[in-house]
């Protein structure tokens, strides 16, 4: 496949290096198409230029022209399917990928792309057939094992899911999303190995809010074995708030740790207020603020917090019950 820029097509269709600045302009690519309208490479290069400039429709049209001129250009047809998939034209994407397999029924990217569609449709048997076909061509396909992990996770076979994700990181030790999945699986099993996987994920993406949050949640939910874990969880939430000062969930969870585990009600109320400042309609934050205030004997303030929670979520039963309890206490 020819590069998107820096190439000029000669009379025979061969590519000659052209380093002038004008080669990355639409006029230049249009000229290449006009000069050699029979060359699929000209349309592919212009399609890539369109993609760099967020013109998806034009890019799809050029890829389609290239494939129309040469039906054996299956990599371009697969790319066209990916673009259609990205704009949620799922039927179009499937049509392109099936067209690829009509030319090469062992084309690994098309097999895996169609397997992913099967997963979305919960057609698990069909997905597994395609994944295994891909693996027969290359037994070290990390994407295939990752899809297998997702499949087994969705079907409730967590042990096999974990095994599949473990294979992913054995094939590619830098595969961040597989470490996250392993961490979540071990967290669900209340196994401290989850912490190792989350820490590895953070070592790969130091500023990953996802990994920070997942590790913090595990620490706060398993702090009974070591109260220092609560402190560590709070530090991770602080890190999240440094990276994303608007993160209401991190502020809420700081409040929750102070309320439920440390019995530091004043600090809890402060952090629930911080969550509310970031997300005013966060009804759980209003409710938990009420619990903190009620625990400090500030029943009138607690009643106001419960009313706020119910104003945003009228059917929120915990707030309604708490409100009734405080009203009774104020009589």
Mean per-residue pLDDT, 301-312: 98
Residue 13 has pLDDT above 60, yes or no: no
Closest among 297, 296, 291 to 323, alpha carbons compared: 291
Residue 272: pLDDT band (50, 70, 90) is very high
Query: How far apart are alpha carbons 200 and 31 in whole angstroms?
Result: 50
Lowest mean pLDDT among 18-22, 52-56, 147-151, 213-217: 18-22
pLDDT at position 60 is: 96
Is the Cβ–Cβ distance between 294 and 303 less than 8 Å?
Answer: no
Taking only the tens place, the pLDDT of each residue in 118-166 is 999 999 999 999 999 999 999 999 999 999 999 999 999 999 999 999 9
Instruction: Please tell me the predicted confidence (pLDDT) of residue 225.
Output: 86
Q: Is residue 266 part of a domain?
A: yes
User: How does pLDDT run across 162-197, given as a tens digit for each residue?
Assistant: 999 999 999 999 999 999 999 999 999 999 999 999
Average pLDDT over residues 212-228: 95
Average pLDDT value for residue range 319-330: 96
What is the chain's mean pLDDT, rounded? 92
| d(C-alpha 259, C-alpha 119), whole Å | 41
The answer to whether residue 237 is domain-embedded is: no
Q: Which residues constitute the domain of residue 296? A: 247-331
pLDDT bracket for residue 331 (50, 70, 90): confident
- Return the bridge partners of 8, or none: 16
Residue 316 and residue 305: Cα distance in Å, rounded? 13
β-strands 7-9, 15-17 pairing: antiparallel
223 falls within a domain: no
What confidence tens digit (pLDDT) does each residue in 94-111 have?
999 999 999 999 999 999
Task: Write down the pLDDT at residue 167.
Answer: 98
Residue 15: per-residue pLDDT: 40
228 occurs within a structural domain:
no
pLDDT score, position 297: 96
- pTM score, whole prediction: 0.84
Confidence tier at 22 by pLDDT (50, 70, 90):
low
Number of domains in the chain: 1
Query: What is the C-alpha separation between 127 and 216, in angstroms, rounded?
Result: 34
| Distance from C-alpha of 31 to C-alpha of 33, rounded to nearest angstrom | 5
The region of weakest confidence among 19-23, 176-180, 229-233 is 19-23
Q: Which helix (H) or strand (E) holds 16?
A: strand 15-17
Q: What integer pLDDT is reported at residue 228 of this predicted model?
A: 95
Task: State phi, psi for 316 to the nearest 5 degrees.
Answer: -80, 100
Q: Is residue 185 part of a domain?
A: no
Does residue 113 belong to any structural domain of this protein?
no
- Assess whether pLDDT exceeds 80 at residue 16: no
Give the model's pLDDT for residue 19.
41
Identify the CATH number of the domain in which residue 257 sits.
1.25.40.10
Hey, which residues does 16 pair with through a beta bridge?
8
Could you tell me if residue 239 is inside a domain?
A: no
Pairwise pLDDT comparison (12 vs 237), residue with the higher score: 237
In the prediction, which pLDDT does 313 show?
Answer: 97
Does residue 24 form part of some domain?
Answer: no
Q: How confident is the model at residue 2 (pLDDT cuts 50, 70, 90)?
A: very low
């Amino acid at each position: 496949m020819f590069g998107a820029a820096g190439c000029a097509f000669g009379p025979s269709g061969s590519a000659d290096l052209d380093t002038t600045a004008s080669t990355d302009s639409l006029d230049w690519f249009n000229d290449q198409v006009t000069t050699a309208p029979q060359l699929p490479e000209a349309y592919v290069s212009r399609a890539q230029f369109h993609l760099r400039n967020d013109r998806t429709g034009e890019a799809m049209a050029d890829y389609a022209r290239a494939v129309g001129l040469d039906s054996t250009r299956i990599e371009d047809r697969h790319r066209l399917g990916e673009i259609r998939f990205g704009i949620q034209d799922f039927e179009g994407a499937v049509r392109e990928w099936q067209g690829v397999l009509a030319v090469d029924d062992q084309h690994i990217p098309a097999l895996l792309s169609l397997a992913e569609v099967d997963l979305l449709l919960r057609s698990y048997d069909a997905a597994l057939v395609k994944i295994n076909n891909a693996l027969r061509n290359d037994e070290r396909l990390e994407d295939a094992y990752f899809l297998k992990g997702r499949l087994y996770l969705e079907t409730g076979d967590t042990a096999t899911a974990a095994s599949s994700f473990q294979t992913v990181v054995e094939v590619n030790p830098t595969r961040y999303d597989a470490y996250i999945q392993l961490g979540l699986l071990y967290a669900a099993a209340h196994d401290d190995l989850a912490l190792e996987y989350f820490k590895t994920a953070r070592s790969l993406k130091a500023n990953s809010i996802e990994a920070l949050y997942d590790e913090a949640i595990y620490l706060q939910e398993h702090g009974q074995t070591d109260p220092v874990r609560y402190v560590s969880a709070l530090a991770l939430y602080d890190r999240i708030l440094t990276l994303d000062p608007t993160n209401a969930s991190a502020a809420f969870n700081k409040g929750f740790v102070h309320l439920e585990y440390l019995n530091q009600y004043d600090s809890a109320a402060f952090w629930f207020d911080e969550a509310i400042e970031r997300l005013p309609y966060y009804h759980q934050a209003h409710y938990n603020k009420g619990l903190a205030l009620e625990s400090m004997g500030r029943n009138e303030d607690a009643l106001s917090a419960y009313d706020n929670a119910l104003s945003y979520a009228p059917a929120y039963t915990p707030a309604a019950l708490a409100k009734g309890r405080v009203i009774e206490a104020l009589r």
